[in-house]
Amino acid sequence: MVVDTDERKIRDIIAKEVPAISGDPTRENALTKANIKRARALLATSDDTTNAFISLTARHINPKIRIAASISEKSSEKILRNSGAGIIAMPKRISGEMLASKAMGEEAGARGIDDLASLYQIPVKKGSKLEGKSPVEIAGDGILPVGVRRKGEFMPLNVRIILTDGDVLNLIATKESIKALKEGYM
C-alpha cells in the first residue's frame, strides 16, 4: 500500500494496479487507513526528517512492524534507528554500488560497504528455493523486498507476484541478512 500526498502520483500508482491512498504518511489517520496495524513492513522513502516521523508514527501504531527507511545523510542514521527503523539505506550510495557492479561486469547485486542496508538484486533460477514464492514470504529481519524485474520490466512489490525462473528479486537488506537469505534459498 502506497501512501503519498501527491494525488497525481497516487492516480499513476493505482493505474498500475498497486494499492495506494492519498494522505500524509506522518499522520496516524493516514497510516491507519492504509492498515498499518496489520502490515508486516513499511518502507519510508521521503526526506530524513519525514522518514523519522513516519517511523515513529508507524512504530506507535504497530510495535512489531519492520521499518526500512532511506536517508540522504549518514548523520541521520542514529535518528532513524531511534525512531524505529531497523533497516536504513542511502539511495545515493546504493546507486553508486550498482553502477560499480555494472562497470565491473557483475550480473546483479550491490555490495554492502558498511552496516547500512544495500539494494540487492537476486536472480531467480529454475529449481531454486525462491521459485514459486511470493517476495512477501521472503521478508524478514533485515530483509525488505521492494519489487521484481521480469522480462526487463520492474514490478513494485505486490502480494500477487510469484517468483519464476528469470526474475530478479530486488530487496533492501543488511550484509548479514543477505548472507542468511542466500544460505536458506540459494
Q: Are 114 and 60 found together in one domain?
A: no
- Can you give the pLDDT at residue 186? 66
Tell me if 147 sits within 8 A of 155, measured CB to CB. Answer: yes
DSSP string across 21-39: EES-TTSHHHHHHTTTTT-
Give the domain CATH number at 109: 3.30.70.1450
- Can you give the pLDDT at residue 24? 96
- Can you give the pLDDT at residue 55? 96
Report the C-alpha gap between 73 and 90 in whole angstroms: 8
- pLDDT digit of tens for each residue in the chain (186 aa)? 899 999 999 999 888 888 899 999 999 999 999 999 999 889 898 999 999 999 999 999 999 998 988 898 889 989 999 999 988 888 777 667 666 666 776 655 544 445 567 778 889 999 988 999 988 888 776 788 888 999 988 888 777 889 999 999 988 887 788 888 877 776
- Can you give the pLDDT at residue 113? 44
Global pTM reads 0.61
Under 8 Å CB-to-CB from 185, ≥6 apart: which residues?
128, 129, 130, 138
Q: Which of 39, 63, 89 is the last residue of a domain?
A: 89
- Can you give the pLDDT at residue 110? 47
| Residue 18 DSSP SS3 | coil
- Can you give the pLDDT at residue 23? 95
Give the domain CATH number at 10: 3.40.50.720
Q: Are 98 and 178 found together in one domain?
A: yes
Q: How far is CA 53 from the centre of its chain?
A: 18
Task: Give the domain extent around 179.
Answer: 91-185
Tell me if 59 sits within 8 A of 84, measured CB to CB. Answer: yes
Count of domains forming the chain: 2
Q: Which of 62, 89, 116 is the last residue of a domain?
A: 89
Q: Are 54 and 102 found together in one domain?
A: no
Q: Are 155 and 100 found together in one domain?
A: yes
- 94 sits in which H/E element: helix 91-103
Q: Are 59 and 108 found together in one domain?
A: no
Tell me if 168 sits within 8 A of 148, measured CB to CB. Answer: yes
Q: Which of 67, 89, 111 is the last residue of a domain?
A: 89
Q: Are 72 and 95 found together in one domain?
A: no
Tell me if 24 sits within 8 A of 5, measured CB to CB. Answer: yes
Amino acid at 97: E
- Can you give the pLDDT at residue 102? 67
Number of neighbouring beta carbons within 10 Å of residue 39: 17
Looking up cell 533485515 gives 142
